[in-house]
Each structure stands twice: as structure tokens, then as C-alpha cells.
Chains A and B, each alone.
Chain A
């Protein structure tokens, strides 16, 4: 059950940080959605906010860790250029994908989309975390801020989901070893 350093970092990036963000979304969304004065008492909202504050902070931090590990650790390995004359492109995933017409779109569309759109997730997640932490219980009484937070939170999830999906598929087709 050995694993290379590069495979380990790819797992940390995608299956630890990335997956944690995606899995935690449902709980965060439910917590934010249900923060309404007609559904919870003041004591209930305060209790709920303790979890929401911590959860949103962690999710924002995890989103940043995901894009930073992806961009600055895993991505250089993905896009490394092979030495002149290299026949076996297994160690050079980007070049491997581009060398075969049937695989090229995994890079030209999949990776190109993923590497950019993913960065929208931590920006949106940080904005949402700020709104939750700054307004706290008062978020329930702001008729526009809470729905806006829910919208940005959903956008963060969608961006992360696109990035995660293409990351998983690309790592199947041209794994980083």
C-alpha cells in the first residue's frame, strides 16, 4: 500500500481539503437557511450560531488550503515539461493528455476550467464566513443579507464541485505519480 509523495499531496489537496469542503456544504447551508426568527428561538439561534461560526470559518480556511495546495504544490507537477525526446509521458500528465487527440479536452477544457474557477470558491466562502461572524444572530433579521450569503455559499460549492469533479476525472486519466 505504498504511495508516492506526489500522490499523497494530490490526495491531501483533493480528497482531504477539497472533499471536506464539499461534504460540509450541506450542513452549512442547512444552518444558514434555517436561521429565521419564525423557526428558532433566540436561544436556539445563539446555539446554532456557535456551530455556524466555527463551521463557516473552517470551510473558508479549507477552501483556501485546497486552492493553495492545488495551485502551488500539485499543479506544477501536472504541468511540468518533459525533457526533449521523452517518449514515455506518464510522468508529465499535461503533455500526456495533449499528446492524444482523444484525451486533449481533459486538459484544454477540464483542467483549464478547473484551475481558474476553483479560486472563486475561497473568495465566496470567505465573504460568507465574514457575514456570519460579523452579523451573528442579527443575520436572521436582515431580509437581504442572509439570502445573499446563501447564494454566495452555493456559488462557492458549485465552483468547488466543478473543480473537484474534473480533478478526480483527470487524475484517473493522467494521474500524478
Chain B
């Protein structure tokens, strides 16, 4: 006896890909840059007192305001440059971009980890 769902197993073909992968590369790489920036600013503020002072944008929040604010600015600026300035209409070697992106995100995660930046700060 035929099963009722057998007539539904025909899969319609998808629309062929028409959008280049440049915008994806830009978004991904910018995300990595933003993550790395957060890690770098966090560690810099711990290691260099002048940086800590300079990143105190909002007093009640302390240097966290500048670390995160500047990281967001760097992220958005790099995204704008990569998307509008470079890769909007392009197809990019995504493998390499992804590798760099993941390395940058790892930098961000490592350098926001307290044992890392306190060790670098000599605490």
C-alpha cells in the first residue's frame, strides 16, 4: 500500500544564487574586527592606566563605557568600509575571510578573559 506522503517528496529547485558573497564577507569580517577590538581595548585599559582613564566616557560606568563604545564604533566603521567601500558587488574567497574572522573572534574572547589581562597587567 502506497504511503500518503510519497506524493509530496518531489523537491522544487531553489532559485539560483544571484547575490555575491561580498556583503557576507564584509559582515563576518567586521564582526571579527569588532570582537577583537573589544578584547584589545579591554586588555589595553588594564595594562595602561592612561588608556583606562581615556576610556572612561561615562563616569558611573567607568572605562567599560569606552571599551565597549569604541569597540562598537570600530565594528560599525569597518563594516561600512568593507561593505560599501570594497565588497558590496564582489565575490570573495570566503574560506580565507572566515579563517581570519574566527581568529579575530578568538582574540576578542581571549583578551576579555580576566586571567589573561590581569596577568598581562602584572596583577
Contact = CB atoms under 8 A, between A and B. Distances in A.
B22 to A, nearest CB: 11
Main secondary structure of the interface of B (DSSP, over half): helix
Nearest to B46: A112
Given A138-B19, A148-B28, A123 B35 contact: yes
Interface centre among A76, A126, A127 (most CB of B within 10 A): A127
A112 B15 contact: no
Nearest to A43: B12
Contacts of A138: 14-15, 17-19
Chain A, interface residues (CB within 8 Å), range? 35 or more
A109 B31 contact: no
Interface string B79-108: 000000000000000110010011001001
A34 interface: no
Given A71-B68, A148-B28, A142 B17 contact: yes
Contacts of A71: 61, 64-65, 68
Interface string A47-80: 0000000000000000000010001100110011
Interface in A104-137: 108-109, 112-113, 115-117, 119-120, 123-124, 126-127, 130-131, 134-135, 137
Among A80, A117, A134, A151: residue with most chain B CB under 10 A: A117
**What 6 A-B pairs come out closest when comparing CB atoms?**
A76-B60, A116-B112, A127-B31, A112-B114, A42-B12, A145-B24
Interface of B: 11-19, 21, 23-24, 27-28, 30-31, 34-35, 38, 42, 58, 60-62, 64-65, 67-68, 71-72, 75, 94-95, 98, 101-102, 105, 108-109, 112-115, 118
